[in-house]
Amino acid sequence: MKKKLSVILSCLLLAPVVASCGAEESSSSSSKATQSSVVEISSAASSSAKESKASSSRVSSSSRSLTPEEIYESQFEFEEIEGGYSVSLASTCRAKKLELPTTHAGKPVLVVNDLNSIYLEEVIVPEGIKELSYMSFNNCRRMHTIELPKSLEDMGLYTFNEALETVFYDGTIEDWCNISMNAYQTNPMSFATLFNIKDENGHTNYNGNKYSLLTDVVIPESITEIGNYQFYGSKCIFNLDLGNSVETIGSYAFAETTINKINIPDSVKTIKDKAFYRCTSVNELTIGSGLTELGDYTFVGCMMENVVIPDSVKVLPECIFMTSSKLKTIVLPAGLTEVQGGVNLCYSYTGGVSVLEKIYYKGTAPFESAVTVSENNNDDFNKATIYYLTANGENETQAGNWWYYGSEGAIVEKVVEYYLNYDNILNKEICVWKISINY
């Protein structure tokens, strides 16, 4: 009994110790597990921190500040061409005023391609650019001002639009005459109200240069041909001096300009179709003796009252003076062989009726037998009075309408009429002459 009690007491006394040991082992095991977990978290955190640092380094590297040159070039797109690059506007560009680049990747920028932007209002095309290509500014609906370089050689179709108001050109008239134009939509003169040309004595300042409004055009002696559309639609040219070297005037070269006098020098041999079409401010036209070829519709709408066609012209082309409603008299050469026509040679704006009153013909043979006239021109020649040139008007006694040059080249008309009258004294009919002279 005592022995059993002793064992029980021993067990009771040892139980807390065993429990304590179990607790310590459990605690120790838990502690190890916790430590292991902390190490893993710490390791992960360390790894994450490293990755974060690396990522931060990469972000910092990729978002560094761009240089002004890089920012500037980001507005454009470049395409390599022979001798350099062409330039277009990047779709992200929102600039209102822009000066185009002169170089890219060490090579010159030579051609302007697509710079169409609804944001652009002002563009500077720098020296070195040689070509404005097809529709390069056509959709710039807000672009009102452009500066063009002396180096420009070619402008493509539909280059500009009606939003353009002011042009500043850095070349001379000679330089401008050497630019190839493809149509009236090519020439900025046909849209801009103000066309300014570089002039060191000018009164208008732009982009560090001085300019003058182009009101007078004097063609230099170095120019022998004025190209198609060269000055088409200019709204500020009033005076034109073609010089003495021009041989050919191209189609639409001065069409719809505001010039008031046309003096074609003797050097000009060819004037192409519609060269002076609808120059409604023209009130005086002089054509030199060297002209041999006239294009159709050449002087349509010009408002001179008198015209002398030189002896060198053999054919009057179709509708040459159509709607020239003030043209009353015309001098035609003896060598004229044909008057072509789609409509009357000359008629008024209203009603399509010929306004031509007098034709001074240098020939002596009947006009209708010497000159082939288109049926559409019969109205002109049926209504107008034809006068024939006489070498010595004072002694002309043959009945008819005659003319000759009087003092200072003035045209003198002499109308000779006769009728029969019975003379009672002579008892026979006699011829009575009636002569009227009109200066």
What pLDDT is recorded for position 342? 57
Nearest to 198 by CA among 254, 127, 112, 133: 127
| Residue 153 pLDDT > 70 | yes
Helix (H, G, I), strand (E, B) or coil at 222: coil
Confidence of residue 57 (pLDDT cuts 50, 70, 90): very low
Contacts 24+ apart (CB under 8 A), 415-424: none
| Residue 428 pLDDT > 50 | no
Q: How far is CA 421 from the centre of its chain?
A: 70
- What is the pTM (predicted TM-score) of this model? 0.80
Q: Which of 54-63, 82-91, 237-246, 389-398 has the lowest mean pLDDT?
A: 54-63
211/430: higher pLDDT? 211
272 with 248: CB under 8 angstroms?
Answer: yes
Q: How many CB atoms lie within 10 A of CB 405?
A: 12
DSSP collapsed to 3 states, 366-382: CHHHHCEECHHHHHHHH
pLDDT digits (tens, 9 = 90+) for 189-204: 999 999 999 999 999 9
186/27: higher pLDDT? 186
Q: Which of 221-225, 313-317, 431-435 has the lowest mean pLDDT?
A: 431-435
384/43: higher pLDDT? 384
165/15: higher pLDDT? 165
User: Tell me, what DSSP letter sits at residue 242?
Assistant: -
Q: Which of 6-20, 83-97, 407-421 has the lowest mean pLDDT?
A: 6-20
Q: Which tokens is 4 given?
A: 């059993």
What pLDDT is recorded for position 64? 63
What's the CA angle centered on 213, arms 210 and 219, to 5 degrees? Answer: 105
Question: What's the CA gap between 389 and 394, in Å, rounded?
Answer: 12
Q: In what order do the strands lie in the sheet with 372-373?
A: 315-316, 338-339, 372-373
- Residue 390's region, left for phi above 0, alpha for psi from -120 to 50, else beta, is beta
What pLDDT is recorded for position 185? 83
What pLDDT is recorded for position 66? 67
What pLDDT is recorded for position 437? 58
Question: What's the CA gap between 249 and 382, in Å, rounded?
Answer: 33
Q: Which tokens is 17 given?
A: 């110790």
Burial label, 370 (beta-carbon count in 10 A; 0-12, 13-18, 19+): middle
For range 265-270, the mean pLDDT: 98
For range 386-409, the mean pLDDT: 78
Q: Which of 21-25, 312-316, 323-327, 348-352 has the lowest mean pLDDT?
A: 21-25
401/142: higher pLDDT? 142
User: Tell me, what DSSP letter sits at residue 252?
Assistant: T
Q: Helices (DSSP H) in 76-235: which residue ranges?
A: 173-177
Domains of the chain: 66-214 (3.80.10), 414-438 (no CATH)
What pLDDT is recorded for position 28? 43
356 with 345: CB under 8 angstroms?
Answer: yes
Confidence of residue 422 (pLDDT cuts 50, 70, 90): low
Question: What's the CA gap between 386 and 402, in Å, rounded?
Answer: 8
Q: How many CB atoms lie within 10 A of CB 363?
A: 17
What pLDDT is recorded for position 225? 98
Confidence of residue 164 (pLDDT cuts 50, 70, 90): very high
pLDDT digits (tens, 9 = 90+) for 245-260: 999 999 999 999 999 9
Question: What's the CA gap between 435 and 414, in Å, rounded?
Answer: 7
Confidence of residue 80 (pLDDT cuts 50, 70, 90): very high
What pLDDT is recorded for position 251? 97
Question: What's the CA gap between 323 and 353, in Å, rounded?
Answer: 10
User: Tell me, what DSSP letter sits at residue 401?
Assistant: E
For residue 394, what are the contacts with CB-CB under 8 A and spacing of at least 6? none
Confidence of residue 42 (pLDDT cuts 50, 70, 90): very low
For range 91-101, the mean pLDDT: 92
Q: Which tokens is 83 given?
A: 């001798």
| Residue 17 pLDDT > 50 | no
